[in-house]
């Protein structure tokens, strides 16, 4: 979290994420009295202080969703993941991998963490300085070390899946059943952890291609203890995710599947000042139909006009010369295949209206 003093010496902090904020809103608005689980989402800018790198900016954007309520049914976790993957799919974010893990609860995790710490101490000499430090501060973090030399050592460490209590073990097992029910493919990653104590059980992450070393586009998990920790009612469970919007966009762009923005539909190629009034009039009517229209502000040579229409990526050129202005019959040219037809104003509007829907 980035905290600093502003001009009035007031201490200001920039929010690094929104889950806690959502929990506070849940508490403040008494949402535990709402029927069923509260299903919430947010979109907004967040801030971090670290040096920027690819897909990791000091001001970044997150899209998040949270489910809060009395139930911690595995089906809720699975539904959250289902929604997330549907969203990615619709957005054209392909080649993603969903990793899941369970990090236990306040009963079983501390026991595992101690065990892990003891095992880490035995192999301390094989680890780098960062990991050595983390043995005491946050042993779980050693698991996501990227140092190549440490990998064989880490692979031999005790795994949390083998040390979950029976309730957590069952929850994780049921989660996998629920995911299968929804035909969601995933891989288990026993090294996927969260650093803070209020995180429980399910953790997950979605990674995508084209992002360098920062390849997670979404992270999330269960945080059954957080609402109570923040002063809310006991027994409220929660799960949610946050999408790194900047990274998701980078990955979509990289895959070349970005949807095309609505392009220029009609370029009004007019010739001669006698045709100009008719051109302006029809351009206005086309715009009223919701079409994106470009009309040159100054007279230009006809060849140049069509050339400009092409360069601007217009789908159609509407030709308005003296003949058209006099007869009221326009010439519409489709630029992709050079096919053109003559249409009265009404026919033109009708034709473009039907084209628009395709």
* Using rule CB under 7 A, residue 196 touches RNA: yes
Residue 222 engages RNA in binding (rule: CB under 7 A): no
217 binds RNA (CB under 7 A): no
132 forms part of the interface with RNA (CB under 7 A): no
- Burial of 327 from C-beta contacts in 10 A (0-12 / 13-18 / 19+): exposed
**Footprint (CB under 7 A) of RNA, residues 281-340:** 300-304, 306-311, 319, 321-324, 331, 333, 335-338, 340
Q: Shortest approach of RNA to residue 177 CB, angstroms? A: 26
User: What string marks each residue from 33 to 62 as x (binds RNA by CB under 7 A) or -?
Assistant: ---------------x-xxxxxxx------
Please state the closest distance from residue 36 (CB atom) to RNA, in A.
26
Provide the minimum distance between the beta carbon of 35 and RNA in the complex, in angstroms, as a whole number.
29
Q: Which is nearer to RNA, 91 or 335 (CB)?
A: 335
Query: Applying CB under 7 A, does 138 fall inside the site for RNA?
Result: yes
Of the pair 1, 86, the CB lying nearest RNA is at 1
Neighbours of 114 (CB within 10 A): 11
CA nearest neighbour of 189 among 323, 98, 54, 112: 98
Cβ of residue 226: shortest distance to RNA, in angstroms?
9
Furthest C-alpha separation in the chain: 93
Helix (H) or strand (E) holding 86: helix 74-91
Show the 3-state SS of 331-357.
Answer: EEEECCCCCEEEEEHHHHHHHHHHHHC
Least distance between RNA and beta carbon 304 (Å): 6
With 0-12 / 13-18 / 19 or more C-beta atoms within 10 angstroms meaning exposed / middle / buried, residue 288 is exposed
Minimum distance of RNA from residue 49's CB (angstroms): 7
- Which is closer to RNA, CB of 16 or CB of 92? 16
**Is 147 an interacting residue with respect to RNA (CB under 7 A)?**
yes
User: In terms of DSSP bridges, do strands 329-334 and 293-294 run parallel, antiparallel, or are they unpaired?
Assistant: unpaired
To 10 degrees, the CA torsion angle through 71, 75, 80, 83?
A: -140
User: Which tokens go with 22?
Assistant: 């959502």
Q: How far is 357 from 209, CA to CA, in rounded Å? A: 33
Which three-class secondary structure string do you get for 160-212? HHHHCCHHHHHHHHHHHHHHHHCCCCCEECCCCCCCCCCCEEEEEEEECCCCC
The answer to whether 64 contacts RNA (rule: CB under 7 A) is no
Tell me: does residue 150 bind RNA (CB under 7 A): no
212 binds RNA, rule: CB under 7 A: yes
Pick from 63, 88, 134, 202: which binds RNA (CB under 7 A)?
134
Give Cα separations from 328 to 36, 247, 281, 347 (angstroms).
62, 52, 11, 11
Which residue lies nearer to RNA by CB, 134 or 201?
A: 134
Using CB under 7 A, list all residues that contact RNA.
1, 16-17, 19-20, 48, 50-56, 130, 133-134, 138, 141, 144-147, 194-196, 199, 212-214, 219, 271, 300-304, 306-311, 319, 321-324, 331, 333, 335-338, 340
């Amino acid at each position: 979290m980035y905290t600093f003093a502003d001009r009035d010496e007031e201490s200001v902090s920039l929010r690094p994420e929104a889950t806690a904020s959502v929990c506070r809103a849940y508490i403040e608005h008494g949402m535990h009295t709402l029927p069923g689980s509260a299903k919430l989402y947010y979109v907004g800018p967040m801030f971090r202080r670290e040096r920027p790198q690819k897909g990791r900016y000091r001001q970044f954007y997150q899209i998040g969703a949270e489910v809060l309520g009395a139930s911690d049914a595995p089906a809720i976790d699975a539904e959250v993941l289902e929604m997330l993957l549907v969203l990615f799919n619709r957005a054209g974010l392909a080649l993603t991998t969903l990793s899941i893990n369970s990090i236990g609860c306040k009963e079983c995790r501390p026991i595992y963490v101690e065990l892990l710490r003891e095992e880490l101490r035995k192999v301390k000499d094989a680890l780098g300085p960062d990991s050595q430090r983390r043995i005491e501060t946050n042993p779980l973090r050693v698991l996501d070390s990227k140092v190549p030399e440490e990998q064989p050592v880490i692979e031999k460490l005790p795994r949390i899946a083998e040390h979950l209590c029976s309730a957590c073990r069952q929850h994780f097992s049921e989660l996998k059943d629920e995911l299968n029910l929804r035909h969601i493919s995933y891989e288990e990653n026993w090294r996927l952890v969260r650093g803070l104590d209020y995180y429980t059980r399910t953790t997950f992450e979605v990674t995508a291609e084209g992002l360098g070393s920062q390849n997670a586009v979404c992270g999330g998990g269960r945080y059954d203890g957080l609402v109570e920790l923040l002063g809310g009612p006991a027994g409220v469970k929660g799960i949610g995710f946050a999408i790194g919007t900047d990274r998701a966009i980078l990955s979509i762009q990289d895959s070349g599947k970005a949807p095309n923005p609505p392009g220029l539909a009609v370029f009004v190629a007019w010739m001669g000042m006698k045709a100009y009034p008719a051109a302006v009039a029809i351009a206005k009517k086309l715009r009223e139909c919701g079409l994106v229209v470009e009309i040159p502000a100054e007279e230009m040579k006809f060849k140049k006009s069509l050339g400009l229409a092409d360069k601007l990526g217009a789908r159609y050129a509407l030709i308005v010369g003296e003949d058209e202005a006099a007869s009221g019959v326009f010439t519409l040219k489709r630029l992709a295949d050079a096919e053109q037809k003559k249409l009265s104003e009404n026919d033109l509007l009708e034709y473009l209206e039907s084209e628009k829907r395709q």
